Amino acid sequence: MSISRIALSTAFAAVMLAACATERIEPPISKGPGLGQPATAAEIALLDIGIAPSGAGLPPGSGDARAGAKVYAAKCQSCHGDKGAGKPADALVGGTGTLASSNAVRTVGSYWPYATTLFDYTRRAMPLTAPRSLSNDEVYAVTAYVLHLNGIISEDHTLNAQTLPAVKMPNRDGFVDYSKVR
Amino acid sequence: MKKSLTKGEGGLRPARGDALVERSDRRSFLTRSAAVTAGLVAGAATAPVVRAAETAATGLPAWSKAPGAPLRAYGMPSKFEEPVKRVVTSGYPTVSPGTGSSLTPLQLLEGTITPNGLHFERHHSGVPDIDPTQHRLVIHGLVKRALSFSPATLSRYPMVSRTHFVECSGNSSRNTGPEPLQVTCGTIHGLLSCSEWTGVPLSLLLDEAGVDPAATWLLAEGADSAAMSRSVPLDKARDDAMIALFQNGERIRPEQGYPMRLLLPGWEGNMNVKWLRQLKLVAEPMHTKDETSKYTDLMPNGKAQQFTFPLGVKSTITRPSFGMTMQGPGLYEISGVAWSGSGRVARVEVSTDSGATWSDARLQGPVLSKSVTRFRLPWEWNGAAATLQSRATDEKGNVQPTRQTWTAAYSAAHRYHNNAIQTWSVKADGSIANVYL
């Protein structure tokens, strides 16, 4: 073997070693076995509880703050305090006008951009110890109560699938979309 | 590392002072001290009584002179490593003790992979006990075919293995208070763990369902009783997202999402939805509770950044760090972890003089994208006070910010995405403190 051929094969080996050292090399997977089963309407309905800001997904039913006060006292107050004051769980009221201060307080009233989120979260996850136990009327009512505590709607304002997404939250324009910033 | 922490072997020694772990640590210290003391006492008692008539084995420890423990079907760490465990906090200990977090003890670990039993936890309503035969992942919404996958079905799909960190975007929030807490590195930065994840590329399943061109996001939701949900851009789902089934070779543990979790490499831990039960293709983000009221980044002007998904480039020295005591002047290794949600770590610099001068640390390979990289730097400690910092740079050129820079960018109330430089102050007496610079 000539000197140049030895040099060449040494160089080739070095390139191969470098390639191995940088990253695992594997072909991309582009094809699966296609084993997914058709999801049934009942299967989807059980899970599909997400509510969009447009109100899409809101169920039938209605409620106002008067009815919601009773729900709140029975199901929410032990964690969220009297009239949403908080402790041990998050405060639900207050903080309006504080976001640009050194003592910003973020609550449903001062921070949340959409009322639909309050309905969605309450229905999916509250009360913490018994989620999905409230009726749709109860969720509408307690949502109305929390919004009323924050001075966003009146005590007799009825929330339903049409009126809830129309509620304008005070901090609706307080967010800057960074989803395209990478 | 673990061995170097035990008394009598030189190097660093842990000290008390982490209020959050004080109770468990105190007990374990007593246990360990007793064991060490017993060993010393036993050695002192046997040494003088060696006689010619005794066998050559006299003086050997008991474990060298009799058969050891039986085989076992699933291994556990040595009982002497009992102090190596997570710090556990719960906001609602009586109502829902599973709602809270536990932190990886970074300062007690080495290398880059987090043992499965020490991976950090963050649960919004405890850990569900899911029967995999009854669990389904449903993909629906803006798709041609709504599909349902069981864990057994997914196990027949081609898989990939990737080593990635998962970090809660609330990690290091303990360093956002007005005064530095005197707690361990893991108690501050331990909502970070790194594993080899194995699972099915999400793009395969999306192709099978046939995504409608109108879909640009998907809602990912867990089967826990919080039904934790986050909106995920479709381009990320198609890029490197995985339905993870295995963690470090074994099935994902219940605390990490058994039987399956969404893995979005480099992005906020909260989005890596555990116990994944549905992906709904939608045209707009859903603005769930966790992407509006939480995990948004309030700025000084009162506006908040929303959907800040990738985690910033970050590092911390894990050794020496708070809770350890320097054992006199001499050669030490500064060791730590670095990571970035945007790619590979390109460089880690270390300063021992409050940032006046910096030295490049050695990066331990392989340096993988969106993964933890271990860095090391030999350090000759002269016994004088020193201030230790590490500063990471990733392959995109992002540089880990100083605490001052990071703090100035956000509201004083902001707690997420803290990737500021960590500072440990080594004092002449060998003690180490968490300080702000």
Burial grade of B183 (CB within 10 A; 0-12, 13-18, 19 or more): buried
To test the contact with chain B by mutation, choose from A17, A22, A29 the residue with the greatest count of B C-beta atoms within 10 A, namely: A29
Predicted confidence (pLDDT) per residue in B166-180, tens digit: 999 999 999 999 999
What does the pLDDT read at residue B39?
30
Task: Reply yes or no on whether the pLDDT at A37 is more than 70.
Answer: yes
Tell me: pLDDT of B189 over 80. yes
Place of tokens 């908040």: B304
Contact B366 A116 (CB under 8 A): no
Ordered by where they begin, the domains of chain B are 137-297 (3.90.420.10), 314-435 (2.60.40.650)
Beta bridge partners of B336: B317, B375
Task: Give the model's pLDDT for residue B259.
Answer: 98
Which of B138, B284, B308 comes nearest A47 by C-beta?
B138
Mean pLDDT of all residues in A146-169: 98
Q: What does the alpha-carbon distance between residue B265 and residue B240 come to, in Å, rounded to a whole number?
A: 7
Residue A31's closest chain B neighbor by CA? B204
Contact check, Cβ <8 Å, B138/A128: no
Compare CB distances from B204 to A32, A112, A116 and report the shortest one's residue. Answer: A32
3-state secondary structure of B26: helix
Q: Which residue from B227, B243, B426, B226 is spatially nearest to B322, judged by alpha carbons?
A: B426
In chain A, residues with a C-beta closer than 8 Å to the C-beta of B307 are 177-179
**B1 or B358, which is more confident?**
B358
Q: Is the pLDDT of residue B19 over 50?
A: no
For residues B228-252, average pLDDT: 98
Domains in chain A and their CATH numbers? 51-149 (1.10.760.10)
Greater model confidence, B236 or A8: B236
Nearest to A131 among B219, B227, B413 (CB): B227
Q: Which tens digits make up the pLDDT trace of B303-315? A: 999 999 999 999 9
**A175 with B411: Cβ contact below 8 A:** no
Chain B environment of A174 (Cβ under 8 Å): 302-304
Pairwise CB contact (< 8 Å): A175 & B296: yes
pLDDT, position A1:
38
In chain B, residues with a C-beta closer than 8 Å to the C-beta of A55 are none
* Chain A: residue whose CA lies nearest to B408: A102
Decide: residue B380, CB within 10 A, 0-12 exposed, 13-18 middle, 19+ buried.
exposed
Token pair 């929330």 is found at A159
Q: Do A79 and B95 touch (CB under 8 A)?
A: yes
Residue-wise pLDDT tens digits, A40-51: 999 999 999 999
Q: Mean per-residue pLDDT for B218-227?
A: 98
Q: Is the pLDDT of residue B212 over 60?
A: yes
pLDDT digits 0-9 by tens, B384-406? 999 999 999 999 999 999 999 99
First to last CA, chain A: 53
Q: Which residue has the higher pLDDT, A21 or A26?
A: A26
Distance of residue B291 Cα from the nearest chain A Cα, in angstroms: 10
Distance in angstroms (rounded) separating the CA atoms of residues A102 and A119: 30
**Nearest C-alpha of chain B: how many angstroms from A155?**
24
Burial state string for B213-244 with b = 16 or more CB within 10 A and e = fewer than 16: eebbbbbbbbbbbbbbbbbbbbebbeebbbbb
Q: What percent of chain A has pLDDT over 70?
A: 85
Token reading at B431: 């003690």
pLDDT in tens, B365-388: 999 999 999 999 999 999 999 999
ipTM, two decimals, is 0.87
Could you say which DSSP state residue B6 is in? Answer: S
pLDDT at position B52: 54
pLDDT band at residue B95 under the 50/70/90 scheme:
confident
Nearest to B158 among A32, A102, A103 (CB): A32
Residue A15 banded pLDDT, cuts 50, 70, 90: very low
3-class DSSP state for residue B161? strand
From B157, B306, B309, residue closest to A176, measured CB to CB: B306
Backbone angles phi, psi at A129, to 5 degrees: -85, -10
B179-186: average pLDDT: 98
What's chain B's average pLDDT? Answer: 90
pLDDT score of B49 more than 80: no
Encoded tokens for A102: 């050194």
Measured between beta carbons, the chain A residues lying within 8 angstroms of B226 are 124-125, 128, 131
With CB atoms and an 8 Å threshold, state whether A182 touches B136.
no
* Phi, psi dihedrals of residue B198, rounded to the nearest 5°: -125, 135
